A and B are shown apart, each in its own frame.
Chain A
Amino acid sequence: MADPMRIRAKIEGDKTVVRVLMAHEMETGQRRDSTGKVVPAHFIQEVTATHNGKTVLAAQWGPAISKNPYLQFQFAGAKAGEKIAIAWVDNKGDKRTDEATIAA
């Protein structure tokens, strides 16, 4: 299974700013290894962020996103102490969900 994401969520003004660092190879499928074989594509396809059971962000990603992607977004309506959950699914069906507590 993939390594955990690092997540920081913080109230800034009337919004919550969420920063996420994911651990993923994000292989494009365009690269060849030293023997000339194509390295198979392996990338995150879906990202969802959930707060109190509500989806606050849903994204469809492709192979153009960098290795170990960094994602930052903001949303309204959260309070300090509540949780934000981030989940991804990649093109091989691997998935990962991690959670962080929103800081004041």
Chain B
Amino acid sequence: MCRSDVAAAVALALACTLSHAGPGTGKAPTWPGIGRPATPAEIRAWDIDVRPDFKGLPRGQGSVARGQDIWESKCASCHGVFGESNEVFTPIVGGTTRKDVQTGRVEALAKGTEAQRTTMMKLSTLSTLWDYIHRAMPWNNPRTLGVDDTYAVTAYILNLAEILPGDFVLSDRNIREVQALLPNRDGKSPRHGLWLPTGKPDVRNVACMRNCAPDVKIASSLPDHARGSHGNLADQDRNRGGLRGQVTAASATAAARGGEFAAVKELTGKAACLGCHGVDRKIVGPGFNQVSEKYRAKDNAEAYLAGKIKAGGQGIWGQVPMPPSVTISDADAALLARWILKGTPE
């Protein structure tokens, strides 16, 4: 369906615009000579969103039991067998009670008693869960779950959250009844500025126009002995824009500017490598120093690692997979591999 929702994806909006001008509509194209109308099949391939009223939800069904198989083979490596995800990602399940299922408002959310908010605590529309899984999960392989499997794994998540019984079969026919059981179904409030494009923001940043303080006076700062405890902030913050990190320690990068690995910082930044790898510690993936230690002495280590950087992998350092990096060129992958093997010189 073509909708004019604020949130509609740009690509979808474009597809809709083009199709309005297409042969089926009888109108002449608005911009002659530019592109061609999208075919109905192309639009269908893009048009996968499921709305809160379940418009767009394809027909199908899936059982909790089937969902458990899918969850344990395709999702548990990242989200935990029970959706508790306590090591790496935020938990999917937890923090909701049977009472919440009755009231439709998650008590722990209102009172702030849970240390960490889970997906199930926040979720107010079941369509969002279904749609998100269908379009985006598994993270390393999106759009590979079929419709029935999406129903099944959604049912299983709801079973883990003790909303659905173990013998339940979720389908397009009963999903509205299940929506009426969501613990936080009444937790969403439209009474704030973000809800409408014309709404008033709920924060106010009033620029000073009169009698303004001429200078900013710094009232307190980190004591010297603590300044460097997270390294040099100037090196860690992005190097564009008006706001820069303070120099809190001797710059480590300055020395190597223009050297063999000058491009590494931008590459690792673009591909978000350091979100998953610490230089000297494991985050989601192994620390780069561990990788270097493991392969430094091996033949062909550079080619091997370059291949792995591009293709991703799983099972060498644990069960969490590394997604492929499709946008990295062979030369850049080789440079990164060399950089890692040499012990990530600055």
Contact B86 A8 (CB under 8 A): no
Contact A70 B82 (CB under 8 A): yes
Query: Which residues of chain B in 67-104 are interfacial with respect to chain A, using CB atoms and an 8 Å cutoff?
Result: 72, 80-82, 84, 86, 94
Contact A68 B94 (CB under 8 A): yes
For A53-73 the 0/1 string (1 means CB < 8 A from B) is 000000000000011101000
Tell whether B115 is near chain A: CB-to-CB under 8 Å. Answer: yes
Q: CA of A101 to CA of B24 in the docked complex: distance in angstroms?
A: 59
Closest-by-CB residue of B relative to A72 is B81
Contact A21 B115 (CB under 8 A): no
Tell whether A15 is near chain B: CB-to-CB under 8 Å. Answer: no
Least Cβ–Cβ distance between A7 and chain B, in angstroms: 10
Neighbouring A residues of B81 by C-beta, 8 Å: 8, 19, 21
Contact B86 A6 (CB under 8 A): no
Contact A70 B94 (CB under 8 A): no
Query: Which residues of chain B in 44-86 are interfacial with respect to chain A, using CB atoms and an 8 Å cutoff?
Result: 72, 80-82, 84, 86
Query: Which residues of chain B in 181-227 are interfacial with respect to chain A, using CB atoms and an 8 Å cutoff?
Result: none
Q: CA of A68 to CA of B97 in the docked complex: distance in angstroms?
A: 14
* Interface size range of chain A in the complex: under 10
Contact A67 B84 (CB under 8 A): no
Neighbouring B residues of A19 by C-beta, 8 Å: 81-82
Least Cβ–Cβ distance between A8 and chain B, in angstroms: 6
Neighbouring B residues of A6 by C-beta, 8 Å: 82, 160
Least Cβ–Cβ distance between B224 and chain A, in angstroms: 31
Contact B84 A70 (CB under 8 A): yes
Contact A67 B82 (CB under 8 A): no
Least Cβ–Cβ distance between B31 and chain A, in angstroms: 57
Q: CA of A70 to CA of B86 in the docked complex: distance in angstroms?
A: 8
Neighbouring B residues of A66 by C-beta, 8 Å: 86
Least Cβ–Cβ distance between A44 and chain B, in angstroms: 16
Neighbouring A residues of B115 by C-beta, 8 Å: 67
Closest-by-CB residue of B relative to A103 is B72
Neighbouring A residues of B160 by C-beta, 8 Å: 6
Q: CA of A21 to CA of B160 in the docked complex: distance in angstroms?
A: 11
Closest-by-CB residue of A relative to B87 is A70
Q: CA of A67 to CA of B84 in the docked complex: distance in angstroms?
A: 11
Closest-by-CB residue of B relative to A69 is B86
Closest-by-CB residue of A relative to B80 is A70
Q: CA of A85 to CA of B95 in the docked complex: distance in angstroms?
A: 25
Q: CA of A21 to CA of B84 in the docked complex: distance in angstroms?
A: 8
Neighbouring B residues of A8 by C-beta, 8 Å: 72, 81-82
For A1-41 the 0/1 string (1 means CB < 8 A from B) is 00000101000000000010100000000000000000000
Neighbouring A residues of B80 by C-beta, 8 Å: 70
Least Cβ–Cβ distance between A99 and chain B, in angstroms: 15
Q: CA of A5 to CA of B43 in the docked complex: distance in angstroms?
A: 46
Query: Which residues of chain B in 1-17 are interfacial with respect to chain A, using CB atoms and an 8 Å cutoff?
Result: none
For B255-268 the 0/1 string (1 means CB < 8 A from A) is 00000000000000
Closest-by-CB residue of B relative to A4 is B162
Neighbouring B residues of A21 by C-beta, 8 Å: 81-82, 84
Closest-by-CB residue of B relative to A67 is B115
Given contacts A21-B81, A21-B84, A70-B84, list 12 more A-B pairs with CB under 8 A. A6-B82, A6-B160, A8-B72, A8-B81, A19-B81, A19-B82, A21-B82, A66-B86, A67-B115, A68-B94, A70-B80, A70-B82
What are 18 A-to-B residue pairs whose CB atoms are below 8 Å? A6-B82, A6-B160, A8-B72, A8-B81, A8-B82, A19-B81, A19-B82, A21-B81, A21-B82, A21-B84, A66-B86, A67-B115, A68-B84, A68-B94, A70-B80, A70-B82, A70-B84, A70-B86
